[in-house]
Chain A
Amino acid sequence: MTAASTTQGARRAESSFVRVARYTGVRLIAVLVTVVVGVYLTILIANMGGYVDEIRMGQIREAVGLMAGANPDLPFMSDEERIAYVEQLVAIEVERLGMDRPFLLRSFTYLANALTLNFGRAEQLISDSGSRLVRLIIIERLPSTLYLFATGQLLLFGSAILLALYLSQRYGSWLDRLVVALAPTSAAPGWFYGIFLILIFAGILRLLPFGGMVDTPPPADRLQYALSLLKHLILPISAILMGALWQTTYFWRTFFLIYSREDYVEMARAKGLPPHLVERRYILRPTLPAIVTSFALQLISMWMGAIVLETVFRWPGIGQLFFRAIGSYDTPVLLGIVVTYAYLLAVTVLVLEIVYAILDPRVRIEGRKAEA
Chain B
Amino acid sequence: MTRRIVAFALLTAMVLGLSAGSAAQTVRRGAWLDEIVVVEEPSSPAALTRIEAGDINAFFWGMAAADLYRYRRIVESPAMSYVESVGSFDELTFNPHGPTFRDGRLNPFAVPRIREAMNWLVDRDYIVKELYGGLAVPRYTMVHTAAADYARLADIIRVIDRKYAPNATLAQQVITEEMRKLGAELVGGKWQYKGKPVTLIFAIRIEDVRKQVGDYVSGLLEGIGFTVERRYGTSAELSPLWYSGDPADGKFHIYTGGWIRGAINRDEGGNFDFFYTPRSTMVVPLWQAYKPDPEFDAVALRLSKREFSSMEERRELFAKALELSLKDSVRIWLVDRKSIWATQKGVQAAADLCGGLSGSLLWPYTIRYTDRVGGSMRIASTSMLTMPWNPVGGSNWIFDMTLIRATSDFDLLPDPYTGLFWPQRLARAEVYAKQGLPIARSLDWVTLNFVETNKVPADAWVDWDAKAQRFITAGEKFPEGRESLIKTVLRYPADLFQTKWHDGSNFSLGDMVLRIIMLFDRSKPESAIYDSASVPGFNSFMGHFRGVKIVSRNPLVIEWYTDRYYPDVEWVAADGSAFVWPYYAQGIGPWHTLALSILAEADKKIAFTAARATALKVEHTSLIAGPSLTVLRNMLPGAARDKILPYEPTMSQFVPREESWARWNNLVRWFAQRGHFWVGNGPYYLEKVFPVEKVVHLKRFADFPDPAGKWDRFGVAARPSGTITGPARITIGQAATFDVRITTGGKPYPVKDMQEVSFLLFDAKGELALTGPITAVSDGLWRLTLTAAQTGRLPAGTTTLEVVMVSKLVAVPSFVSLDIVTRR
User: Which residues does A use to contact B, with CB under 8 Å?
Assistant: 51, 54-55, 57-59, 61-62, 64-66, 68-69, 71-77, 79, 81-83, 85-90, 92-93, 95-96, 121, 126-133, 136, 140-141, 144, 198-199, 202-203, 206, 210-214, 216-218, 311, 314, 316, 329
Contact = CB atoms under 8 A, between A and B. Distances in A.
Contacts of B537: 71
26 contacts: A55-B237, A55-B239, A59-B239, A65-B281, A71-B281, A71-B540, A75-B305, A77-B540, A86-B283, A90-B283, A92-B532, A96-B614, A128-B385, A128-B625, A129-B625, A129-B692, A130-B389, A130-B626, A130-B628, A130-B691, A144-B692, A210-B53, A211-B46, A314-B40, A314-B42, A314-B694
Interface residues of B, number: 72
A96 B613 CA distance: 9
B8 interface: no
B236 interface: yes
Contacts of B611: 92-93, 95-96
Contacts of B535: 88
B520 to A, nearest CB: 16
Given A96-B610, A127-B626, A206 B53 contact: yes
Nearest to A204: B53
A69 B283 contact: no
Contacts of B43: 311
Contacts of B617: 121
Nearest to B537: A71
A85 B385 contact: no
Given A69-B274, A202-B55, A217 B690 contact: yes
Contact of B240 (A58, A77, A83): A58
B270 A316 contact: no
B533 A92 contact: yes
Given A93-B611, A216-B378, A314-B41, 8 more contacts: A58-B284, A62-B282, A69-B274, A75-B306, A86-B281, A126-B386, A133-B627, A212-B39
B543 A73 contact: yes
Given A88-B536, A210-B50, A217-B695, A130 B627 contact: yes
B697 interface: yes
A65 B692 contact: no
B243 A75 contact: no
A61 to B, nearest CB: 5
B693 A79 contact: no
B619 A130 contact: yes
B110 to A, nearest CB: 23
Interface of B: 37, 39-43, 46, 49-50, 52-53, 55, 236-237, 239-240, 243-244, 270, 274, 279-284, 304-306, 378, 385-389, 532-533, 535-537, 539-541, 543-544, 563-564, 566, 575, 610-611, 613-615, 617, 619-620, 622, 624-628, 687-688, 690-695, 697
A212 B693 CA distance: 7
B692 A126 contact: no
Contacts of A90: 283
Contacts of B544: 73, 76
Nearest to A57: B244
Nearest to A88: B536
- Dominant SS at the A interface? helix
A71 B305 CA distance: 13
B283 A218 contact: no
Given A75-B306, A202-B53, A217-B697, A55 B283 contact: no
B486 to A, nearest CB: 12
A82 B281 CA distance: 7
Closest 6 CB pairs of A and B: A130-B626, A129-B626, A58-B244, A130-B622, A130-B388, A58-B239
A132 B281 CA distance: 30
A218 B239 contact: no
A126 B279 CA distance: 35
A73 B541 CA distance: 7
A74 B539 CA distance: 12
A131 B694 contact: no
Given A69-B282, A81-B543, A130-B387, A218 B693 contact: yes
Contacts of A314: 40-42, 694
Contact of B304 (A75, A127, A214): A75
Contacts of B389: 130
B693 A213 contact: yes
B50 A55 contact: no
Contacts of B49: 199, 203, 210
A222 B613 CA distance: 35
A197 to B, nearest CB: 13
B543 A76 contact: yes
Contacts of B539: 85
A90 B42 CA distance: 31
Contacts of B274: 69
B563 A76 contact: yes
A27 B750 CA distance: 86
Contacts of A74: 270, 281, 304
Contacts of A57: 244
Contacts of B37: 216-217
A329 B237 CA distance: 12
A85 B536 contact: yes
B270 A218 contact: no
Nearest to B282: A65
B627 A136 contact: yes
Given A79-B279, A85-B536, A62 B39 contact: no
A129 B611 CA distance: 18
Contacts of A75: 270, 304-306
A126 B53 contact: no
Contacts of B55: 202, 210
A136 B619 CA distance: 11
B694 A129 contact: no
